[in-house]
Amino acid sequence: MRIISANVNGIRSATSKGFIDYLALAQADIVCVQELKAQEADMTEEMKHPLGMHGAWHTALKRGYSGVAIYSKQQPDAIQIGLGWEDFDQEGRYVRADFGQLTVISLYMPSGSSSEERQQAKFCFMDKFLPILRDLQTSQRDILICGDWNIAHQNIDIKNWRGNLKNSGFLPEERQWLSQVINELGWVDIWRTLYPEIPGYTWWSNRGQAYAKDVGWRIDYHLATPNLATCAQQASIYKDVKFSDHAPLIVDYAYP
């Protein structure tokens, strides 16, 4: 079972750069996408159902903003759009698909980098999301949350960690929250578990030569419940073609 998580920074832009062609080569069973930056009316049939896959999406009220989707070869048994929080659901940040015992979620955590107001909104989302994560963990299901969490967890997860200690995405409070999610609630960070010593950057600033010099951040994750985590075999980050300021994160699971 191959699952890809990709922040496409605009599904229309990524498609024009060959994202659907990449999916054809990657042969994923499930693809979680973030930052659609399109409403349903803006998306072509190919963007809604790439390669004929089943599609479920949660778009933002605001045009050209946020939005998440899940594409799957198999039709989901059930789909959940949003979290029931009016303020954040208007931003299109959460979609869940159930396949038998397996649940896959595409998540786009708010970014706090644009203003102090947005940072406070991010903290609010984190506070409200923690009990959800606790409930999911105790649900007896195999659950995978793919997405752009907008937090680099440890020093290894960000190239210039010393210079970013006071910046959104690497604030002590954000990192502590993610530690709580992993260490206390029991979610497993698949990349870091498979590759303890490899940074695994998935995002690079458009400023300077960040991408060329690999001055990156690891802010895209597969976080799984323990039983599913034991099935993770290998992971990779696709950088042959640049669809976005993020790179797709691919994980193969030996899951029935």
Among all residues, which ones are annotated catalytic? 148
- At position 72, the amino acid (one-letter code) is S
- At position 97, the amino acid (one-letter code) is A
Q: List C-alpha distances in Å: 71 to 19, 127, 208.
A: 13, 28, 34
Q: Cβ of 174: how many Cβ atoms within 10 Å? A: 23
Report the helix count and the strand count for the chain, using DSSP H and E.
Answer: 8, 14
- For residue 52, give every residue at least 6 positions away whose Cβ sits within 8 Å of its Cβ, in sequence order, or none: none
Residue 189 has phi, psi (to 5 degrees) of -80, 105
Q: Rounded CA gap, 205 and 245, in Å?
A: 7
